Amino acid sequence: MQTLNQISLAETLKARRERLSQLIDLPVILWSGRSSARNFPANTYPFRASSHFLYFAGSPLENAAIRLEQGKLTLFMDDASPASALWHGESPARTAIAHQIGADAAYPLAQLQTKVEDCATVLVQDPGTHEWQTQVLNRAIAIAPEAKGIDLALIHAIATLRMSHDVAAIAELRQAVAVSIAAHQAGMAATCTAKTEADVKAAIEQVILANNMTTAYTSIITVHGEVLHNHHYHHELQARDLLLVDAGAETASGWAADITRTWAVSGRFSPTQRAIYEVVLLAHDLCIATMKPGIEYEAIHLTAARVIAEGLVDLGILRGNPTDLVEMDAHALFFPHGIGHLLGLDVHDMEDFGDLAGYAEGRTRSDRFGLGYLRLNRPLQAGMLVTIEPGFYQVPAILNDRDRREKYGDVVNWERLAEFSDVRGIRIEDDVLITATGTEVLTVALPTNIEAIEQLISGN
Amino acid sequence: MQTLNQISLAETLKARRERLSQLIDLPVILWSGRSSARNFPANTYPFRASSHFLYFAGSPLENAAIRLEQGKLTLFMDDASPASALWHGESPARTAIAHQIGADAAYPLAQLQTKVEDCATVLVQDPGTHEWQTQVLNRAIAIAPEAKGIDLALIHAIATLRMSHDVAAIAELRQAVAVSIAAHQAGMAATCTAKTEADVKAAIEQVILANNMTTAYTSIITVHGEVLHNHHYHHELQARDLLLVDAGAETASGWAADITRTWAVSGRFSPTQRAIYEVVLLAHDLCIATMKPGIEYEAIHLTAARVIAEGLVDLGILRGNPTDLVEMDAHALFFPHGIGHLLGLDVHDMEDFGDLAGYAEGRTRSDRFGLGYLRLNRPLQAGMLVTIEPGFYQVPAILNDRDRREKYGDVVNWERLAEFSDVRGIRIEDDVLITATGTEVLTVALPTNIEAIEQLISGN
Ligand SMILES: [Mn+2]
Ligand SMILES: [Mn+2]
């Protein structure tokens, strides 16, 4: 058996383009993108190449393009100017990079213009590159979910390929996961001395930086887990708070991890925190236990919804039959988001395609409050990496909404719920690889059970 | 005397607009900008508002605009949607923000269109906002250095204001400096156990993150200081290396620090490292000693050039008369950049104006190799904050350049230079506030002398 070390980057990329050429018989040009300016042009954000480019070029080259046709790879980029060497040091030449990534030919960017006929492409996020794409191809390039014709055909082909990770991708994903696990452990260990959310963030991101990686997305590190996309870190930690941490690293070539843990600031969950946490953890465990190729991801989501509804009935927070409660979306009062999403080069993998990757052909988002936020709706298949991230939140905008309070007035025991006021937000998120026969939880080394988490916090 | 705590944000902003209205009699609209997408639209870079907007609005509001006219402030922004509250929590309402920043009126963005007549503006970096500006004002908005007419008049007025920092600005700058100093100290203390540049970067940026600040620019943390804009962190630290660290924090409202220190990985400078460091430090100290209002910044640069030339003559690396050597730009073989730049809301303050802020009217960049990279060329004035950052580098692209080796063949003692091979790059950078009578070095608490730095590394 060939081990990973024996598979060169060039071989991996060759296999990817050959699979692409089996799916579509079109020449393709993919652009890497440009860095964007912060304050003034010379002060740029760290460059992050387009994920589609990274998948086929393997390297975060700035201001570059590749052409793929019948398994052949052509690289287009300019060599650095002599003045650039003064400020940025010697850069590898185009020919050296071409060799490393196994390109069949390499040209300056000016040549790109001459090889564009009938080429499909994918829109790159930064507007400067979008304009460049439009000029070079001399036609409009639509935002991916609105793409038509050859661009749409390309999107479906890329989605098919990137949906199922190859050995090299999985090796990168494992690296991102390993560093993310160490980062969460550092965050847990730092909690006892941390004064603010920012202190824990610093401990977590220090690990990511020390491994020469970046965060794959803006970390969520908050005692207000009920604010789902919370990017503030100024709150002081109080002993009765739960801290929700959703943070993941990204390798140099762009592969992401996405992990959430929720822990007690004091190092000891209160009885109410423990009770809800166990409900969320049971949903998490049962979801993963049922996953294997062929299972519908929506069914996994509904499993989580049912387990959460059952747990809340058992705790006296919801009233009624769990199946009925899920059908009326009562679970979504407390679990308003989807059970997870694809993970790969993007933290929501291929979300620039809208739902063209996440949803099987012919499927569209549900109108139901309890299903509409699901980002993935297709059968699981081997090689897919998905997150499983059930949660419980007391979101004021949901629970104080007059229409919802009326609709769900009878099924929620509001007085009982008030006893759980120290549980604002809990989420447990793991990264689950679908194997031929079941799953491998890549993030399994980071415990989810309360006892082990309490030990990591206290350092015992 | 009024202390800073008694000066409210609203009063500071009012004083800034009143000074603006004394300089130009024009209505002005400034846009804050938008965050840019990373991989896919929902994954954005942390938002950084336009510095000109921050100066007059005081708060990093996303997707907002302000109108300034005769000292009056009008805020344009939309309240968050109810759906946004679900994901992002409750946001302060437009009216609450308007009150906080002392706005005279506040409207939804749709109203902006009706108040644009004869308004000057400054182009915002992100292309989406540029397009929005163009639509709203219904005219082309040029990149700042190419601005004409009322936009150019506005640039000169803003440059005049932002050139001289008020009490509130200086208080913010001091906060950025204090955190940056603590960050450098953490980097020094971490060096003895660090394996790679990334380990030191992590220790430095942990301090910045824990203080809920961001880096003002991409940190340079490198054992290859001769690569001036080095944004790689993968090198292992070797005992004989010098580590060059150029890193600064930025406060939540955008005010930046910019500090460089260079230290020995082993904790002990070698004799050759010490010798060159002392030359750079002498240049640094003499520059600062001569600074006061009225002194030309170019003269400070030439002071540094002369001291470095003298030092290198004394060390036997250069041959000849230091004054002649500077006139022939021989200093620039080893000190190829300018002595510093303006510092404020941008790390190169107002560099989006090209040289319209940095260069006095009528002055342009020199063709000389030893002067052309100077970013600031005007007389110093009270309230200005500038960096002083002399350096010594052995840049292969300069020293191996055939033309330069010919031109400077006689004045460089190449054999002697080879003895200094363990000195690839040294820079010492402080942030110097010009006072009425001289200077205050805001960064003075971070030592520059070798003995104190060696102590910080060894922890004694
Ligand atoms: Mn996730
Ligand atoms: Mn600087």
ipTM of the complex: 0.94
Q: pLDDT by residue (tens digit) across A26-68?
A: 999 999 999 988 889 899 988 999 999 999 999 999 999 999 9
Q: Which residues pair with B249 in a beta bridge?
A: B215
- pLDDT on residue A460: 65
Residue A387 alpha carbon to ligand 1 centre in Å: 6
Q: Spell out the long-range contacts of B326-332 with Cβ–Cβ below 8 A and sequence spacing 24 or more.
A: B326/B302, B326/B370, B328/B408, B328/B411, B329/B368, B329/B369, B329/B370, B329/B371, B330/B408, B330/B411, B330/B412, B331/B305, B331/B306, B331/B370, B332/B305, B332/B369, B332/B370
Q: pLDDT by residue (tens digit) across B281-291?
A: 999 999 999 99
Give Dmax over CA atoms of chain B in angstroms: 74
Residue B199 alpha carbon to ligand 2 centre in Å: 22
Phi-psi region of A435 (alpha: psi -120 to 50; beta: other; left: phi over 0): beta
- Distance between CA atoms of B364 and B367, rounded to whole angstroms? 9
Query: Residue A221 pLDDT more than 80?
Result: yes
- Which residues of chain A are in CATH 3.90.230.10 domains? 167-458
User: Which residues of chain A does B336 touch, with a Cβ-Cβ cutoff of 8 Å?
Assistant: 86
Query: Residue B280 pLDDT more than 50?
Result: yes
What CATH code is assigned to A4-163?
3.40.350.10
- For chain A, give the percent of residues with pLDDT over 70: 98
Length of chain B: 460
> What are the C-alpha distances in Å from A55 to residues A10, A180, B27?
12, 21, 49
Q: pLDDT by residue (tens digit) across A192-208?
A: 999 999 999 999 999 99
At B24, is the secondary structure helix, strand, or coil? coil
- Distance between CA atoms of B428 and B282, rounded to whole angstroms? 10
Q: pLDDT by residue (tens digit) across A136-183?
A: 999 999 998 899 999 999 999 999 999 999 999 999 999 999 999 999
Q: Which residue has the higher pLDDT, B127 or A323?
A: A323
Q: pLDDT by residue (tens digit) across B78-127?
A: 998 887 888 888 888 999 999 999 999 999 999 999 999 999 999 999 88
- pLDDT on residue B82: 80
Least confidently predicted of A2-16, A44-58, A386-400, A436-450: A2-16
Please tell me the distance in Å from A77's CA to the nearest CA on chain B: 20
Q: What is the mean pLDDT of residues A425-441?
A: 98
**pLDDT grade for B1, boundaries at 50, 70 and 90:** very low
Give the DSSP H/E element, type plus range, for residue A33. Answer: none
Residue B227 alpha carbon to ligand 2 centre in Å: 15
Q: What is the mean pLDDT of residues B207-214?
A: 98
DSSP code, position B318: B
From the candidates A51, A59, A86, which should be mutated to test the interface with B, based on the most B CB atoms within 10 A? A86
Taking the CA atoms of A10, A12, A17 and A21 in sequence, report the sign of the dihedral they define.
Answer: positive
- Number of Cβ within a 10 Å radius of residue A81: 11
- pLDDT on residue A85: 81
From the candidates B32, B35, B36, B39, which should be mutated to test the interface with A, based on the most A CB atoms within 10 A? B39
Q: pLDDT by residue (tens digit) across B131-189?
A: 999 999 999 999 988 999 999 999 999 999 999 999 999 999 999 999 999 999 999 99
Please tell me the distance in Å from B400's CA to the nearest CA on chain A: 11
Is residue A244 exposed (0-12), middle (13-18) or buried (19+ Cβ within 10 Å)? buried
- Number of Cβ within a 10 Å radius of residue A160: 15
Q: pLDDT by residue (tens digit) across B236-271?
A: 999 999 999 999 999 999 999 999 999 999 999 999
Compare CB distances from A42 to B46, B348, B398 and report the shortest one's residue.
B348
Strand order across the beta sheet in which A385-388 lies:
A385-388, A430-434, A439-441
User: Which residues of chain B does A347 touch, with a Cβ-Cβ cutoff of 8 Å?
Assistant: 39, 43
Query: Residue B3 pLDDT more than 70?
Result: no
Report whether B431 contacts B422 (CB < 8 A): no
**pLDDT grade for B354, boundaries at 50, 70 and 90:** very high
Q: What is the third-level CATH fold of A167-458?
A: Creatine Amidinohydrolase (3.90.230)
Report whether B93 contacts B126 (CB < 8 A): no
**Token pair belonging to B139:** 């005219």
Please report where in the chains the tokens 């506005």 appear, as a residue.
B154
- pLDDT on residue B90: 82
**Token pair belonging to B452:** 């104190």
Query: Residue A5 pLDDT more than 70?
Result: no
Residue A424 alpha carbon to ligand 1 centre in Å: 19
Beta strands in B60-170 (DSSP E): 65-69, 72-76, 105-107
The answer to whether the Cβ–Cβ distance between B125 and A38 falls below 8 Å is yes
Return the ∠ at Cα A387 (arms to A382 and A391), rounded to 5°. 145
Report whether B39 contacts A346 (CB < 8 A): yes
Q: What is the mean pLDDT of residues B396-424?
A: 95
- pLDDT on residue A82: 79
- Is beta strand A430-434 parallel, antiparallel or unpaired with respect to A385-388? antiparallel
Q: What is the mean pLDDT of residues B66-70?
A: 97
- pLDDT on residue B459: 83
Phi-psi region of A341 (alpha: psi -120 to 50; beta: other; left: phi over 0): beta
> What are the C-alpha distances in Å from B97 to residues A164, B28, B87, B292?
47, 20, 20, 39
Q: Chain B contact for A329, CB < 8 A? A: no
- Distance between CA atoms of B221 and B228, rounded to whole angstroms? 11
Query: Residue A6 pLDDT more than 70?
Result: no
User: Which residues of chain B does A395 touch, with a Cβ-Cβ cutoff of 8 Å?
Assistant: 86
- Distance between CA atoms of A274 and A263, rounded to whole angstroms? 10
**Token pair belonging to B49:** 């508002």
User: For chain A, what is the mean pLDDT?
Assistant: 95
The answer to whether the Cβ–Cβ distance between A39 and B125 falls below 8 Å is yes
> What are the C-alpha distances in Å from A259 to residues A179, A208, A442, A453?
11, 13, 10, 14
* Chain A residue at shortest CA distance from B206: A202
DSSP code, position A444: T
- Which residues of chain A are in CATH 3.40.350.10 domains? 4-163
- Distance between CA atoms of B149 and B360, rounded to whole angstroms? 18
- Distance between CA atoms of A85 and A93, rounded to whole angstroms? 12
- Could you say which residues from 266 to 305 on chain B have a Cβ atom under 8 Å away from some Cβ of chain A? none
User: For chain B, what is the mean pLDDT?
Assistant: 95
DSSP string of B327-374, one letter each residue: HTTGGGGT--S-S--B-SSSSSTTGGGTTTTTB-TT----SSTTTTT-
Beta strands in A372-441 (DSSP E): 385-388, 391-393, 425-427, 430-434, 439-441
- pLDDT on residue B144: 87
- Could you say which residues from 70 to 109 on chain B have a Cβ atom under 8 Å away from some Cβ of chain A? 82, 85-90
Residue B340 alpha carbon to ligand 2 centre in Å: 6
Compare CB distances from B230 to A89, A208, A212 and report the shortest one's residue.
A89
Report whether A243 contacts A200 (CB < 8 A): yes
**Token pair belonging to A298:** 């929506």
- pLDDT on residue B7: 66
DSSP string of A281-331, one letter each residue: HHHHHHHHHT--TT-BHHHHHHHHHHHHHHHHHHTTSB-S-HHHHHHTTGG
Residue A30 has phi, psi (to 5 degrees) of -120, 135
